Amino acid sequence: MPIPQKHQYLSNLCDTLALRWPDNRTVNLICHGHSVPSGYACTPFVDSFHAYPHRMQQTLSQRFPYAVINVIITAIGGEDSMQGASRFEEDVLCHKPDLITLDYGLNDRRLTLGQAERAWREMIERALSRGIPMILLTPSWDQSWFTRSGEWRLLEQHAEQIRRLADTYSIALADSFRAYEQEVSRNGNLLNLLSHWNHPSPLGHELIAGELTAWFPAR
């Protein structure tokens, strides 16, 4: 099944976000993953208010001014998708999410592609079995791009695997990897998108947030 159309996939959720009091309700958006959604900048410094979960909430609050939006970050710095899957039930589904975003590509390089795929599939299938929509994120870039090392090639492979998973399950994709590629192609300076060896700068987070909020058409 192909990746769905941006104007259709979250149509029901956007209808809910557009409701006014007293018909509205709190909408829970979960950001699950590693250090990037956690807000880590130049480790160990944490800059949550410039990270993409907060940027996403700001944009959606402007787009849906009557909505009560609760962005819950269940991400843990240093974690990979196998670890994220092991706590998915108790740390993510317990919040009764209206949407889950999934971002583990950078750290999944320490896993095999098969291990990462199984962990992503487990989380995706648990969410979809409960009727919860998801947005999968390809990894943002790191400085391995400069050397095109084995680490960089692995990052490309994980990005492609995440795209295939979105296609297989017909769920949304926020292609951070491609957004970085396009920005570097235009401006030629990856360092403007990084605050650390592997963490996005505020500009990098803005690109990622743009990939996510593109799935929320205004009402």
- Name the residue with tokens 């039930």: 89
Q: How far apart are CA 6 and CA 50, in angstroms?
A: 25
Output the pLDDT for position 121.
98
pTM: 0.96
Instruction: Give domain status of residue 184, yes or no.
Output: yes
pLDDT digits (tens, 9 = 90+) for 38-97: 999 999 999 999 999 999 999 999 999 999 999 999 999 999 999 999 999 999 999 999
Give pLDDT tens digits for 110-159.
Answer: 999 999 999 999 999 999 999 999 999 999 999 999 999 999 999 999 99
Inside any domain, residue 14 = yes
Q: How many domains does the chain have?
A: 1
Domain membership flag for residue 219: no
Give the three-state DSSP class for 188: coil
Q: What residue numbers bound the domain in which 48 lies?
A: 6-213
- Find the CATH number of the domain harbouring 101: 3.40.50.1110
Could you tell me which residues come within 8 angstroms of residue 114 by beta carbon, excluding any fewer than 6 positions away? none
Place of tokens 């592997």: 198
Both tokens of 1, joined, read 């099944």
What local confidence, expressed as pLDDT, does residue 188 receive?
80
Q: Could you write out the DSSP letters of every residue in 127-154? A: HHHTT--EEEEPPPP-GGGGTT-HHHHH
Question: Is residue 197 in some structural domain?
Answer: yes
Q: Does residue 218 lie in a domain region?
A: no
In a domain, 140, yes or no: yes
pLDDT at 1 over 80: no
Instruction: Establish if 45 belongs to a structural domain.
Output: yes
